[in-house]
Amino acid sequence: MASSYSWNPLELIEETCCPLCGHASYYKIFTRADKLPLHECTDCRFVYLGLRPNEKALDRYYADQYFDNSATYQHYFDYAQAVTDLGYCPRIARMKPFVENWHNKRVLEIGCAAGSTLKLLERMGARVRGIEISAQAVTIARDHYGLDVLHSPFNAGKFIGEQFDILLLFDVLEHLPHPGLVLDDIQALLAPGGILVLTVPNFNRFDQVGAKWRGVQSYWEHLHYFRAEVLSRCLTKRNFTITEMHSFTGAAQEDIPNTEVRIRAARNRLLGQKTLCRSWIRRLRKAKFHLTGPPDLPISSDFNGMDLFCLAQKGVGGESLL
């Protein structure tokens, strides 16, 4: 299990009502190892932190080491470079059955990190923009990839007068203090018929395995947790039609890693300490990719996986899958 994180009690905010629907009644269902309680709204079943870090505490958590020297994202920028070297991104691969032609599409990615996904979409002909809170990631996106990326928390006011065909939100919504307002802003930023693609941790997994779920044993910056049915309802309420929703588990996301995964993680930590070794690892992965082709994408239609993938279209009926 991952170690906990210590928050300054003076930098915690009490959440007095559901951040998604505004209802004030809740059940306390779990306490994370960082001592923050999880509350479940009795009205919409949304799960959120009863005490959450304030902006100052989160800014410190998202300091420069967040992406490149943390247990969660160690050597993230090497991964980003590997993605662009290969020309293959699992996120784009998941969208391919629904968005085959990216030419001239107006794309905004919220929380774009270093911009590797946007760079690949730009190569495919899309007109891309991004917004990102990490100064280190924004510098790489601008200087290394030449992308138009704003350094800022997400605010729809930054894009007044603009509309986008596709809006991307990968592993971001759970970090934002007011997810309902964010989804309202996204709905306004999308052109009619525009597409929202997002991923979030899958709280259905907690319902199955409880405290063993990795989602409550790490990622202390996560403020909220979505079940599939909750995500479906809050999108259809905003006049989205859900085209695809499934869960998946990445290769290193097991709740209890098996021996092979533990050995691979230890090897990567050891070799990853040397820049030259990381460079050779990227080369070997590139060679393997060209020999064996892209990996199969894991999909769990019964929502047993670690994360939820959702693709929804604005203003075409508002039908719910669930």
CATH number at residue 287: 3.40.50.150
What is the pLDDT at residue 1? Answer: 43
Confidence check: pLDDT of 250 > 80: no
For residue range 159-202, what is the model confidence (pLDDT) as tens digits? Answer: 988 999 999 999 999 999 999 999 999 999 999 999 999 999 99
For residue range 67-103, what is the model confidence (pLDDT) as tens digits? Answer: 765 555 445 677 777 778 888 889 999 999 999 899 9
DSSP string, 245-283: EEEE--TT--SS--HHHHHHHHHHHHHTTSHHHHHHHHH
- Which residue, chain included where needed, has tokens 């690892």? 281
pTM score of the predicted model? 0.85
In a domain, 159, yes or no: yes
262, 253 Cβ separation under 8 angstroms: no
pLDDT band of residue 290 (cuts 50, 70, 90) is low
User: CA 194, CA 167: separation in Å to the nearest integer?
Assistant: 8
User: CA 314, CA 196: separation in Å to the nearest integer?
Assistant: 8
Mean pLDDT, the chain, whole residue set:
85
In a domain, 2, yes or no: no
What is the residue range of 85's domain? 75-314
In a domain, 241, yes or no: yes
User: CA 84, CA 80: separation in Å to the nearest integer?
Assistant: 7
Of 89, 227, 87, 238, nearest to 170 by C-alpha is: 89
Handedness of CA 167, 172, 177, 179 (dihedral sign): positive
Ranking 1-5, 89-93, 133-137, 252-256 by mean pLDDT, the lowest is: 252-256
Handedness of CA 210, 320, 196, 105 (dihedral sign): positive
List Cα–Cα distances, 37 to 67, 163, 206, in angstroms. 26, 38, 14
What is the count of structural domains for the chain? 1
Give SS3 for 23: coil
What is the pLDDT at residue 226? Answer: 96
In a domain, 236, yes or no: yes
What is the pLDDT at residue 318? Answer: 46
Of 301, 212, 216, nearest to 40 by C-alpha is: 216
In a domain, 14, yes or no: no
Half-sphere CA count of 190, side-chain side, radius 13 A: 26
In a domain, 155, yes or no: yes
pLDDT band of residue 136 (cuts 50, 70, 90) is confident
172, 110 Cβ separation under 8 angstroms: yes
Please give the single-letter amino acid code of residue 56: K
In a domain, 18, yes or no: no
In a domain, 231, yes or no: yes
Give SS3 for 114: coil
What is the pLDDT at residue 190? Answer: 96
